[in-house]
Each structure stands twice: as C-alpha cells, then as structure tokens.
Amino acid sequence: MSGSNDPAIQTLVAGINDMLASYGATITWKNYSNARKGNDAAMNSFIANAKAGKVGAVIFLDSNPVYNHPKGAELAEAIKKVELSVSTSDRKDETASLVNYVAAKHHFLESWNDAEPKNGMFSLMQPTISPIFKTRQQEESLLAWTGNTTSYFDYLKDYWQERFGEGKTGYAYQSFWDKCLQDGVHEAPVEDAEYTATVDASAAAASINKNYKGQGVELALYTKVAVGDGTQANNPWLQETPDPITKAVWDNYITVSLSDAKEWGITEYEGKGSKAELAVNGVTYKMPVVIQPGQAKGTIGVALGYGRTSAGKVANGLGTDVTSFVGTLNGANYYAVTSGVQFKPLDEAYQVARTQTHQTYMDRSNVIQEATLKEYQKDPMSGREVPMISTWQDVESGKVKSTSLSLWKGHKYKDHHWGLAIDLNSCTGCSACHVACQAENNIPVVGRQEVINRRDMHWMRIDRYYSSNEEEVAKAEGLVDTYRALDKAAENPEVTFQPMMCQHCNNAGCETVCPVSATTHSTSGLNQMVYNRCIGTRYCANNCAYKVRRFNWFKYHDNDQFDKNMAMNNDLGKMVLNPDVTVRSRGVMEKCSMCVQRIQLGKLEAKKEGRRTNDGDIITACAAACPSDAIVFGDMNDDNSPNFQTTSN
C-alpha cells in the first residue's frame, strides 16, 4: 500500500506489487472500493474556469469546498463570477453562505437512497423519521430541476428493477425489493477482472527523485479519527472523543518527535506545554505543540478539519484551519509539505485538554499483561502476573494466591451471569465503542476546560500505553526516580490500547463503602447504580480500583454554561437522547451499566415469546459498534456463549 496521494508513488507501488505477483493473489479487482473517487485535477480545473468567468452555473451537492479544498479562498472569489450557484447543504456553511440559492436537503435519516461502497455490494437507505424542517431530498431536487416529476422513491425503485429485476435474481421483483429492504443489503455476483501490468516504473521513479528533495522540517497533514475533514465538526460528541494516540480533545495542534522536542527546548507536563509558529510558504499560524513519541525526527504533524467559521456553535473558531497548506503534486492534492516549512517554538504557555496524561504503565506489570506469540506457545501463563498474598496460615511458603482469600462470601449466579470480554490483540483503539457508549447512555459533553479539570464524563475510556526503555536506568536511581523515568516513553515505542469501563466486580469496592447502598449487586452479576438514592459522597469513586466512576459536578442539561452539550440543551438536540436511559442530575455518580436497558429489553422480548433469554439476544452498544469484534458480551453461565468460551480460554 502506498499511503500517498502522489500518482508517481502509487505507480511505483503498483509496479512492486506486480513484481511480487500480488495481483490475483493478495490483491483482487473483484470487490474494489468505490470510496475516494474524487478527481483533484478536474476540481482544480473547475476552480480555474470559474475564476476566468467560464462557468455559468454550479450546484454544490452536500459539499463544502470553500472550507475543505486547499484552493477554497480562490473558489470563494470565483463563485461571485458564476451566474447561478446552488448548494444543498443543511446549513449556511462556508460555501452555502456564498451561493445564490440554498436548497437544503433532508437529513440522511429522512431520506431514501442507495450505495455501492464496494463493487457488487449494494445497500439501501430508508427513512426512519419524517422530515423535521421544510427541506427536500437533494436527488428529488435534481429530478425536479430537470423536469422529471417522478418521486425519488419511485425513481430509485425503478432503477433497481432495471438493474436487478425479475429474471435476474431468482425472485419476482417485488419480493426481491422487499427482501433487500428487510436485509438492508444485496450482494450481486461479480466477475474477477483481468489485470495487465503497464507500469512505467522508471518515469515514476524519476518523478519521485525530482519532487522529494526536502530540506529542513517536513509537515504531514492528516485527519483525526473522530473529527475527520471537519464535515461533522459541529458534533460535540466527536470533539470530545479523545484522539487514540495523543488523547487530546477540542483542539488541533502541532505534533513533534521526542528528539526534536529536546533539540528545540520544548517541554510538556500533564498536558501543559507551549505554542509555536508554523509557517509554510509565507503563511504563518500560531498553534499549541504536543510531543508525540514514535514520530519521525524532522517531521511535524497537524490535523485538518478545524478552524471552521460557518459550522455552528460547537465548531466555529475551534482550532486552526490549515487546509491551505495542502499542495498539488502530479495533478493531485498532496498532504506532505517537504519544503518551505518553518517552525519556531514560542514561550507562550498553552494547555491542551487531554483525557490521559501518563504515557506508560511504568513498573506496573499487572496493568498490561502481554507476551510474544513464541513465549505464549512455550508457556500459556507467560506474561501473566499472579499476585500472591502473605498469610500466617501457610507456614512453609508464607504466601497464597490472592483468589484463595476474601473478606466476602461472594455471589452465586443461578441464572444469567452477564459479562463483557475484550480481546486486546484485536483492539485498534479506534474509539467507535467510546462514541457508541456516549450516544446510547446519554453521557453529557462537558467542554475543554472541564476535561482539563479532570471532570470528563465518559463511561468508557481507551487507555493508550507506550513502552519505556528507561527501566534499568531508573531502578538504579531509587524508587522515586523509577516512576519519574518510567513515565517517559521510548522514542520509538510499542503501543498498547486497553478499553476500560466498570468491571462489575464480584466483590466490588464501591459497594462496600457506599453509605446509602446506592450501588448494589444484581443477581445476574451487574454492579448497579440507583441514581435517586445517591447522595454524592464519592466514596465509591475513591475506592474504585479502575477509576471508571464519573461524578456529575454540574447540571449539564438545560444549562447555558454547557451550551455545547447540544444533546441536552435545546429541544432539537434532545431528540437524540435515548428515552430508555435516565438523564442524570447534579451530585449523582454514574458509570457503565453494561447497557442494562438493552438487557431489560432482551428479557422482555423473551418473556413475550414465552422463553428464556438466550445468549445473543442482547448486545451492548460498545460491542455492536466494534469493527474488529474485539468486544464480546454474553452470558458467562452459558457454556456455548462466545463470552464464556473467550473467558474460559
């Protein structure tokens, strides 16, 4: 994979794959992706023609190139020369605010549509809600403007009949259509395409040698996992989703390597750092700096998708828009600036809001227990820490396994024992589970300053740990220096992700210390929170070994001080709240409930059908969202449950 938008590099990589005989083996043309089919050269040509007054009309279909195209400023001026300009955006964004007409489109949940994300793999989109505003589906607008009075639903259905209709799929068309609507997807048979290599590797190599003679610092422009290119930047859930690597929220920043930070005198502690000036070809911005272990020396990175001016209350004025730094190379937009980059550290202090400020698990081998495959094959217990406890009862060894002693009698689960297992080998740290949990459980957005104050409300966090190579040096310097040094990540560390939520402990420390029994244990293994009994002592949070409990320091709903928490502070935003989950009030403790509302729904559905609740009837929001199936929910009392099989192994 090239990982580059430069056609020359892509050509050279294609040649390498051809030499390796990858085509037809590891790479096939059968189910190619239809994503990212844009034509940079054609777009640049359009902007040039518009500037020259050669464009008579333009329709921007749910796009915002004035903001997210590197020549957006030129396009903004060029639109004034276009006689007819229309946008179908759902708001007056940076582009829509400049056109003659805004034909606002439906939200996608109000629309009919179809898609072919991969060759031969089709999906249908159908509305789940009636239109809230006086909008119209953009495809229906196009039909109307061309004089076609057919509704888009009929148009879509007729198209599918023409392509997949009766006699082509083995179904009568109406039956086929109904089945596709029910399934949501349709996989059509496709044939493998033949590949013939016509790679001019020498020309590609010559182009690369000519264009890659960088001097000084190289700038890499990228998009974050949550915010992306900024299209959805006005969504506060995404802004408060920590970046999987830096764990930063509500900002974009300049990332620098550890070695460069030392050379330039840049320091950072607990998220507190400084700003720097970044200049590219005469354009200068002042931005905060984040030191990033693992980043290559001589490079700096900045995320796109910030600095919006016409997105909405959440995104406007947030961060810095560096889209203009994107260059053009071999006719394509290029996201690496290899020359003309100047970086100047400043003495101006700035604190980036981060949900995790410790970098390693230091000398705590029980936090992350890991081993190589070779070590595991030799000893399945390799890398595992088995804590032993000293006791007067065992005279010979003086220590026994921690599981053999307890202050409690424990719990017996006669029916279900719900549990969650996470495969750390499969977790990529993508944060899909994190956002799903926030949406499912009405978790409030608290804003940048409250995150800095350590008051984020996320029920689920994804801890990111770097390896450290300071252990031997630190141990020679004494205990205090051990922990100070071990929190320094290696310059090129290994990275481990660890999703963390309430563990629903069998003998939970929180249950022991609550003076009003607001946190209790259920007969199916859940650690429960009784919100209207909680008096906010926070003893439970202090006694939680995993630090996963969250306290409502403020009333986050119907409060102008938290107006960016849009899901709880206006009537439209409240439509996204889950009616099955309570919105908590000030002074109440909360934490992962294992989606108890979904468990109750599964039990009620089984009761209506006159049967026992089965494993698989219930799936938590995090498990449903996980793209790598790293999270498995189920009944640990069921021998056939994937959860039981995972935990027993």
Whole-angstrom Cα distance, residue 126 to residue 114? 9
Strand partners, 161: none
For 411, residues 6+ apart whose C-beta sits below 8 A from its C-beta are 506, 521, 525
Task: Compute CA 27 distance to the chain's CA centroid, rounded to the nearest angstrom.
Answer: 27
> Is 70 in contact with 323 (CB distance < 8 Å)?
yes
> Is 322 in contact with 304 (CB distance < 8 Å)?
yes
In this predicted model, what pLDDT tens digit does every residue of 536-545 receive, in sequence order? Answer: 999 999 999 8
> Is 246 in contact with 254 (CB distance < 8 Å)?
no
In single-letter form, the type of residue at position 250 comes to W
Q: How many residues does the chain have?
A: 649
E-strand stretches of 353-459: 388-390, 399-401, 418-422
CA-CA-CA-CA torsion for 386, 387, 389, 393, nearest 10 degrees? -10
Q: What is the pLDDT of residue 480?
A: 47
Whole-angstrom Cα distance, residue 527 to residue 441? 16
In single-letter form, the type of residue at position 484 comes to R
Task: Compute CA 474 distance to the chain's CA centroid, rounded to the nearest angstrom.
Answer: 35
pLDDT < 50 stretches in the chain:
479-480
pTM for the full predicted model = 0.87
Give whole-number Cα distances, 542 to 286, 444, 545, 548, in Å: 40, 22, 8, 10
> Is 496 in contact with 370 (CB distance < 8 Å)?
yes
> Is 45 in contact with 37 (CB distance < 8 Å)?
no
Closest to 232 (Cα-Cα) out of 81, 64, 443, 75: 64
Whole-angstrom Cα distance, residue 278 to residue 637? 58
H or E element in which residue 8 lies: helix 7-19
Q: What is the pLDDT of residue 364?
A: 67
Q: What is the pLDDT of residue 473?
A: 56
CA angle 223–228–229, rounded 5-degree value: 85
Question: Helix, strand, coil: what percent of the chain each, to 5?
Answer: 30, 20, 55
In this predicted model, what pLDDT tens digit does every residue of 179-222 receive, in sequence order? Answer: 889 988 988 888 877 777 777 888 888 888 888 876 788 999 99
For 49, half-sphere exposure in the C-beta direction (CA atoms, 13 angstrom radius) is 11
**What are the structure tokens assigned to 406, written together?**
């307890």
